[in-house]
Amino acid sequence: MKKIQMVDLKGQYEQIKERVDASVLDVISSAAFINGPEVHSFQKELEEYLEVKHVIPCANGTDALQIAMMGLGLKPGDEVITADFTFAATVEVIALLQLTPVLVDVEPDSFNIDPEAIKKAITPNTKAIVPVHLFGQAANMDEIMAIAKEHNLYVIEDNAQGIGSSYKFADGKVAKTGTIGHVSSTSFFPSKNLGCYGDGGAIFTDDDDLAHTIRGIVNHGMYKRYHHDVVGVNSRLDSIQATVLRAKLPHLDAYNNARRSAARKYNQAFEGIENIITPKVKGNSCGTSSAIICDTCNCHVFHQYTLRVMNVDRDALANHLNEAGIPCGVYYPIPLHSQKAYQDDRYNELDFPVTNQLVKEVISLPMHTELDDDQINYITKNIIDFVTK
């Protein structure tokens, strides 16, 4: 059996090596390292793939979120509601801009922001909601868009983990995640579903004026050379990363299918094991039942495959797996509202029952495009032996 990796970037590279090597060398000989034609072509190709009017590439997914918020003109003191159970980047940029982060609880089955908790957190100062499509599955965008409309709020989708996934609205309309809210961000960090070979990110929007504003912000607030109309940042995707992304984008759906296929095998192996809760696909895009990971739609792109283990010492399980040569991860071990940097007196522990429980139970298994059946069988057998002994 091949050594098991949490993420197998090398194996994936082998499949596209010829194209990647040639195009990276082309960029080097062209010397168009910044804002070169590769960046422009990638931008166009991603706009087509997502069916969104504007893709604005930038340096990373954290910048993308920050720039999206700057573009919307949010002001210090404005409240921004986001999930308590996510990567810290989401809340970090809210705080950096001196906006007020308002963390709320998530749903126990999808791990995504709970619309009921959003409703409770809205005040006259609320200006935006940031749903995170956690682990590759869309948040409840029907509810979130309705709440936003009712209260006149912006929706900024953090699509760093969801690129390529779709959401089916109650009325049957299907849209790719990252194209539903007013503006969205994504990350091309190497381990993300569409990852480059360094750092990268992008902002998406259908709003022409907002896109124009954001194009200036990423470039020192310049709309005309050496005229700085707004305070901007320096956040660019470089041409070498863009060319890698151009090589990978045509495979993104196949990559996500490979992830879904691995997830389906994991789910099947764990069927009937009482103290394991397998990830639920909420049937967002095709209406199948939640236990099935269907092959006909992109309702979940499994950035992570995350189990909940009940009445089991999760950390002992993680150690056991590591000793057996099986890497695993705990995303995320501490709720954001309990992190030193983001603690706040207004939070009440009773408002976070789900996150407080999830941080003790979640464990993410190896998930990438190169997992084979031997590896999956070995991983699932080790877990089942441990939790049923």
Ligand X SMILES: *Cc1c(COP(=O)(O)O)cnc(C)c1O
Site for ligand X in 123-152 (CB under 6 A): 132
Which single residue brings its beta carbon nearest to ligand X? 61
Q: Of 107, 157, 158, 351, which lies in the binding site for ligand X, with binding defined by CB under 6 A?
A: 158
Q: Does 298 help bind ligand X (rule: CB under 6 A)?
A: no
Strands 174-176 and 183-187: unpaired
Binder among 89, 156, 297, 387 for ligand X (CB under 6 A):
89
| 160 belongs to the binding site for ligand X (CB under 6 A) | yes
Q: Does 62 bind ligand X (CB under 6 A)?
A: yes
- Among residues 111 and 154, whose Cβ is nearest to ligand X? 111
Contact 57, 194 (CB under 8 A): no
Which stretch, 14-22, 154-162, 208-216, 277-285, contacts ligand X (CB under 6 A)?
154-162
Alpha carbons 198 and 20: distance in angstroms, whole number:
14
* Cβ-based nearer residue to ligand X, 86 or 380: 86
Compute the distance between CA of residue 163 and CA of residue 179 in angstroms, rounded to an integer: 10
Of 90 and 369, which CB lies nearer to ligand X in the complex structure? 90
Residue 177 binds to ligand X (criterion: CB under 6 A): no
Using CB under 6 A as the binding rule, the residues of this chain from 181 to 200 that contact ligand X are 187, 189, 199
Asked if 82 is part of the footprint of ligand X (rule: CB under 6 A), the reply reads no
317-336 binders of ligand X (CB under 6 A):
none
**Stretch of residues binding ligand X (CB under 6 A), selected from 135-143, 158-166, 288-296, 368-376:** 158-166
Residue type, 267: N
**Least separation, in Å, of the C-beta of 135 and ligand X?**
9
Where would I find the beta strands (DSSP E) of 153-304? 154-158, 166-168, 174-176, 183-187, 201-205, 222-224, 227-228, 276-277
Judged by CB under 6 A, the residue of 87, 111, 204, 347 near ligand X is 87
* Residues 89-121 as b or e (16 or more Cβ within 10 Å = b): bbbbbbeebebbbbbbbbbbebbbbbbebbeeb
User: Of these, 12, 23, 60, 304, which contacts ligand X (CB under 6 A)?
Assistant: 60
Strand locations in the chain, DSSP E? 54-58, 79-83, 100-104, 126-130, 154-158, 166-168, 174-176, 183-187, 201-205, 222-224, 227-228, 276-277, 305-309, 362-365
Q: How many CB atoms neighbour CB 231 within 10 A? A: 9
Q: Which residues bind ligand X (CB under 6 A)?
A: 60-62, 86-87, 89-90, 132, 158, 160-161, 187, 189, 199, 201
